[in-house]
Structure 1
């Protein structure tokens, strides 16, 4: 049986962790993210000398500077860069250990759920979820974190540090999910675009300039996939990182975009755009909530998943791991 050491309230096993204060993990996380002792101290609510002392201890442990000055700013060493993601993941894991509860009572619970979301998912899915949670669990808070391509590309690791991710089917596999709602696709053009009537043709679309979102080798939306499935390689003139921006990049131009109906309907009037039907059979979008298997036994997360299933509007043809 391994010897147990206690350091500042943390239980330490023998081996590499012996005599190491795991409270340094929070300091390491702040230093690697802020790349500045003063800002890290402000974030942690500690004095600058205390964080400087923590940095010295971390440097001795890793035999590496971690932060080094370049001109008027600090940069991470190669090891510092390597430690950024696993440090955040480890800190989230430690927090979950000490946040664990045997039961979850929504009416009295105080808990924060963190989701990775696009602005589209925040507007459509999280909006209804927030209202439901406010009614059932007034002490629960939601943190909606902006989703980026790296979160999707590294989903198994990304999902370890959050409670879940809202993302359409077609990007992830072998990860538990719950279908939340379905949507379809529409075309949008400027209201003053006289070259396009109430309908359009594939020939016209192949010649028009396009606005798309997240267009990169590993970052794309189903809209681009839809176009390529029907043999259209869009003439992409504008690429944006926000779905909410798309209609406003159409206003007053001859551009066209393929957008989710739910968001197009909400923004058509303020953006002064028209909604047109697609001249082909579109494949519906099925938005799902994806979560890491380690959350399965957590009573709070079980309640959250039940809530999502209760208010979901899934496509019967879509499949998901339960």
Structure 2
């Protein structure tokens, strides 16, 4: 059953119980879940390549929701959101902005992870009045180092079988990081009902095209980063094999009002390995 609610979180719910709602955005239904505080500037979560709302760490989202309204959503064509997934980051950013404005918000905080971080940067640069503060996790700038090498990273991650892909991509090869990855996967399975369907092959392919194009773009002057005026928190692990960790330093050097938090013994999914630490940093930053 579809429920619709505009410009309000579903009070009394958390990550595991918030119902999936649908919002008509220019004739296309977007799936989303909202929970946490019912007042304040919301935190809009922008998800990684192939991810859905069910791929966010519930410990992380619930800790942020204690102090802020939280909104998770599936962008155009992703999982149970309708329409066709675009093949460019700029189009994905336009869809996300249309969704945010359709909710009735004129000011939001953006938390973008990986591909979601690409989208968040685009929104912050193109719609500066919409974005209050920006959080960029496991991500990098347009034209950043090794971002276009997506296929190689996926092939390596698949070596141990599909059930280990997220651990191989998001966590370091150390025993402590692998253990954290296994705990992360267990948390992702805790929501039992009203879960998102898997992505279609078309969405997978279109997101991959967008990432490769983003990585190959000629932006060595980092003009987009320099145009980001919002206070920005950059976070990553020291061994990110998806979006090389050096990209976090590049963002720090070029976003005028930014700070960098980096954890050792961690990778692309450092925000999930150190979920409570990350949430504390986010809440303090916001």
- TM-score scaled to structure 2, two decimals? 0.30
TM-score normalised by length of structure 1: 0.28
Find the structure with the greater CA-based Rg.
1
